[in-house]
Protein backbone atom coordinates (compact mmCIF):
# COMPACT_ATOMS: atom_id res chain seq x y z
CA UNK A 1 0.00 0.00 0.00
CA UNK A 2 1.27 3.46 -0.80
CA UNK A 3 2.34 5.78 2.01
CA UNK A 4 -0.49 8.14 1.09
CA UNK A 5 -3.18 5.48 1.49
CA UNK A 6 -1.52 4.13 4.63
CA UNK A 7 -1.52 7.58 6.25
CA UNK A 8 -5.16 8.22 5.37
CA UNK A 9 -6.22 4.75 6.56
CA UNK A 10 -4.36 5.11 9.87
CA UNK A 11 -5.84 8.58 10.46
CA UNK A 12 -9.32 7.27 9.73
CA UNK A 13 -8.82 4.42 12.21
CA UNK A 14 -7.41 6.81 14.83
CA UNK A 15 -10.34 9.19 14.31
CA UNK A 16 -12.80 6.35 14.93
CA UNK A 17 -11.15 5.49 18.25
CA UNK A 18 -12.13 8.78 19.85
CA UNK A 19 -9.95 11.62 20.97
CA UNK A 20 -9.12 14.66 18.91
CA UNK A 21 -7.85 12.57 16.00
CA UNK A 22 -4.35 14.10 15.91
CA UNK A 23 -1.31 11.82 15.87
CA UNK A 24 2.33 12.26 15.01
CA UNK A 25 3.33 11.03 11.55
CA UNK A 26 6.11 8.95 13.12
CA UNK A 27 3.45 6.94 14.99
CA UNK A 28 1.97 5.69 11.70
CA UNK A 29 2.78 2.12 10.77
CA UNK A 30 5.49 1.95 8.10
CA UNK A 31 6.92 5.41 8.79
CA UNK A 32 10.06 3.90 10.32
CA UNK A 33 10.78 1.83 7.20
CA UNK A 34 10.79 4.74 4.73
CA UNK A 35 10.52 8.12 6.48
CA UNK A 36 11.35 10.21 3.40
CA UNK A 37 8.47 8.75 1.35
CA UNK A 38 6.06 9.11 4.25
CA UNK A 39 7.12 12.68 4.97
CA UNK A 40 6.69 13.53 1.30
CA UNK A 41 3.20 11.98 1.38
CA UNK A 42 2.33 13.98 4.52
CA UNK A 43 3.46 17.18 2.80
CA UNK A 44 1.37 16.37 -0.29
CA UNK A 45 -1.71 15.63 1.83
CA UNK A 46 -1.24 18.87 3.76
CA UNK A 47 -0.87 20.80 0.50
CA UNK A 48 -4.09 19.23 -0.84
CA UNK A 49 -5.76 19.97 2.51
CA UNK A 50 -6.94 16.38 2.98
CA UNK A 51 -5.30 16.47 6.41
CA UNK A 52 -4.74 19.20 8.98
CA UNK A 53 -1.52 19.77 10.87
CA UNK A 54 -0.77 21.43 14.17
CA UNK A 55 1.88 21.37 16.87
CA UNK A 56 1.32 18.99 19.75
CA UNK A 57 2.26 19.63 23.38
CA UNK A 58 5.92 18.83 22.61
CA UNK A 59 6.03 21.25 19.66
CA UNK A 60 6.08 18.50 17.03
CA UNK A 61 3.80 18.09 14.04
CA UNK A 62 0.57 16.19 14.64
CA UNK A 63 -1.86 15.43 11.82
CA UNK A 64 -5.56 14.54 11.53
CA UNK A 65 -8.13 14.17 8.79
CA UNK A 66 -9.72 17.37 7.51
CA UNK A 67 -13.39 17.00 8.48
CA UNK A 68 -14.55 19.09 5.51
CA UNK A 69 -12.75 16.84 3.02
CA UNK A 70 -13.94 13.43 4.28
CA UNK A 71 -15.75 12.56 1.00
CA UNK A 72 -12.46 12.94 -0.89
CA UNK A 73 -10.67 10.83 1.72
CA UNK A 74 -13.31 8.08 1.41
CA UNK A 75 -12.93 8.21 -2.37
CA UNK A 76 -9.16 7.70 -2.09
CA UNK A 77 -9.55 4.82 0.34
CA UNK A 78 -12.15 2.83 -1.57
CA UNK A 79 -10.96 -0.49 -2.99
CA UNK A 80 -9.80 -0.87 -6.56
CA UNK A 81 -12.88 -2.83 -7.65
CA UNK A 82 -15.15 0.02 -6.44
CA UNK A 83 -13.63 2.60 -8.79
CA UNK A 84 -15.68 3.54 -11.89
CA UNK A 85 -12.57 3.77 -14.11
CA UNK A 86 -11.74 0.12 -13.46
CA UNK A 87 -15.25 -0.96 -14.42
CA UNK A 88 -15.12 1.10 -17.61
CA UNK A 89 -11.78 -0.44 -18.55
CA UNK A 90 -13.12 -3.96 -17.92
CA UNK A 91 -16.21 -3.27 -20.03
CA UNK A 92 -14.10 -1.86 -22.86
CA UNK A 93 -11.76 -4.88 -22.83
CA UNK A 94 -14.72 -7.28 -22.74
CA UNK A 95 -16.44 -5.48 -25.61
CA UNK A 96 -13.23 -5.59 -27.63
CA UNK A 97 -12.88 -9.32 -27.00
CA UNK A 98 -16.49 -9.97 -28.04
CA UNK A 99 -16.06 -7.91 -31.24
CA UNK A 100 -12.82 -9.73 -32.02
CA UNK A 101 -14.55 -13.11 -31.53
CA UNK A 102 -17.42 -12.07 -33.81
CA UNK A 103 -15.04 -10.86 -36.51
CA UNK A 104 -13.34 -14.27 -36.67
27: domain CATH number is 1.10.10.10
| CA distance readout (Å), 93 to 69, 78, 81, 100 | 34, 23, 15, 10
**pLDDT per position in the chain (104 positions), as tens?**
789 999 999 998 888 776 677 999 999 999 999 999 999 999 999 999 999 999 988 999 999 999 999 999 888 888 777 678 878 888 899 988 888 888 87
Asked, for residue 74, whether it belongs to a domain, the answer is: yes
Domain interval for residue 67: 3-79
Number of domains in the chain: 1
What pLDDT, on a 0 to 100 scale, did the predictor assign at position 19? 65
pTM, entire model: 0.74
Amino acid sequence: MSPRRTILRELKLHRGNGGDGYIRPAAIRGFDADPSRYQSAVNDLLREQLINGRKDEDGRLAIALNERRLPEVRRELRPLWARPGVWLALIAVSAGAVLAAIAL
